[in-house]
Structure 1
Amino acid sequence: MTFKPHITVAALVRRKDRYLIVEEIYDGRKVYNQPAGHVEAGETVVEACAREALEESCWRVRPSHLIGVYVYKAPNGVTYYRFGLAAEALEETGHTLDEDIVAVHWLTLKEMQALHNRGELRSPLVLKLIEDDLAGQAYPLNLIHEGSNG
């Protein structure tokens, strides 16, 4: 069996005490997540983060720093390498939401913890990203070297 890791990004967007969260249908059930998704061919992690936020939430964002890189083996056997980036909300656009997105919310930490306790988060990484941000984890984006010349 060939190992094919999935490289993903997640945008942690916070305004005051609320986080930008998408409600989506995944594997036939409603779950909550940061705007997140796969890095596409030819794009950087930072570009993927901004694109996913726009597609999933209609918000144009500016990634500011790396919170962490997370490895998660999902129940379906897929291993995800997730780059969690903090991002600033710039503006809400009229962009059409991805078809799997049900709604966009601005939720508090307490609301996120309640969703976690009810098993309604897409993965444990959703709350972990928030906790790491609150703990002060912040690394410059240039830590992610994506140059083509080594």
Structure 2
Amino acid sequence: MTRQKNIVYNVLLNETRDQVLMVKNIGPSYSYYTLPGGTVEAGETLPEAAIREAKEETGYDVAVGELLHVSEAFFPQVDEHCLFFFFQSEIRGGELGTIFPDEIEEISWVTIADAVQFMNLSKEYEQILTTQQTVPYVFNGQITH
């Protein structure tokens, strides 16, 4: 049975807004770049997960802003269906470093074009990350019927 996972990403731009912070993950076969982020844990909202993941992977305390984009993909090799949520985020403190040195090989600022290429995303992501146009995100709390 295919498992569904929710994945959050932090889009952290530098001061001139032409570079994005990325982490280089150590994979089973090769290392690969992603934006700081990861799997939403049980009981977490999407922004809570983004804050936790940014701290764990980069050492930075972030404020999570608006939702930039939602996408999805299937990973048949692990029987997963993943939803990806990209959030505008801003560094508010902390110190660069990771609590997972056995999982994160490198943390670096890269151009937005390189970030799109490293993550193997379609070219339209370059415009999404550059323009920072947002879409609504609403947390509805607990609903009981």
Instruction: Verify the 8 A CA contact 1:44 1:146 in the aligned structure 2.
Output: no
Corresponding residue for 2:104?
101
Q: 1:17-32 alignment to 2 at 5 Å?
A: 17-32=18-33
Residue 146 of structure 1: CA displacement? Answer: 4.2
CA change 1:57–1:7 in 2 (3 A) is same
CA change 1:124–1:110 in 2 (3 A) is closer
For 1:144, give the aligned amino acid: V
CA RMSD of aligned residues (A): 2.3
Instruction: Verify the 8 A CA contact 1:36 1:53 in the aligned structure 2.
Output: yes
Corresponding residue for 1:139?
135
Residue 133 of structure 1: CA displacement? Answer: 2.8
Residue 4 of structure 1: CA displacement? Answer: 1.6
For 1:103, give the aligned amino acid: E
For 2:108, give the aligned amino acid: H
Deviations 1:14-42 (A, max 9, x none): 01211110011123211111011100111
How many pairs were matched up?
140
Residue 135 of structure 1: CA displacement? Answer: 3.9
Instruction: Verify the 8 A CA contact 1:12 1:129 in the aligned structure 2.
Output: no
SS at match of 1:54: helix
Residue 136 of structure 1: CA displacement? Answer: 4.0
Q: Partners in 2 of 1:36 and 1:106 — Cα distance?
A: 15
CA change 1:124–1:111 in 2 (3 A) is closer
**Structure 1 unaligned blocks of 5 or more:** none
Corresponding residue for 2:121?
124
The alignment's TM-score, normalised by the length of structure 2, stands at 0.83
Q: 1:1-150 alignment to 2 at 5 Å?
A: 2-15=1-14, 16=16, 17-74=18-75, 76=77, 77-93=79-95, 96-98=98-100, 99-112=102-115, 116=117, 120-121=118-119, 123-124=120-121, 129-140=125-136, 143-149=137-143
**Structure 2 unaligned blocks of 5 or more:** none
Instruction: Verify the 8 A CA contact 2:72 2:82 in the aligned structure 1.
Output: yes
Q: Partners in 2 of 1:85 and 1:59 — Cα distance?
A: 15
Residue 94 of structure 1: CA displacement? Answer: 6.5
Q: Partners in 1 of 2:22 and 2:85 — Cα distance?
A: 17
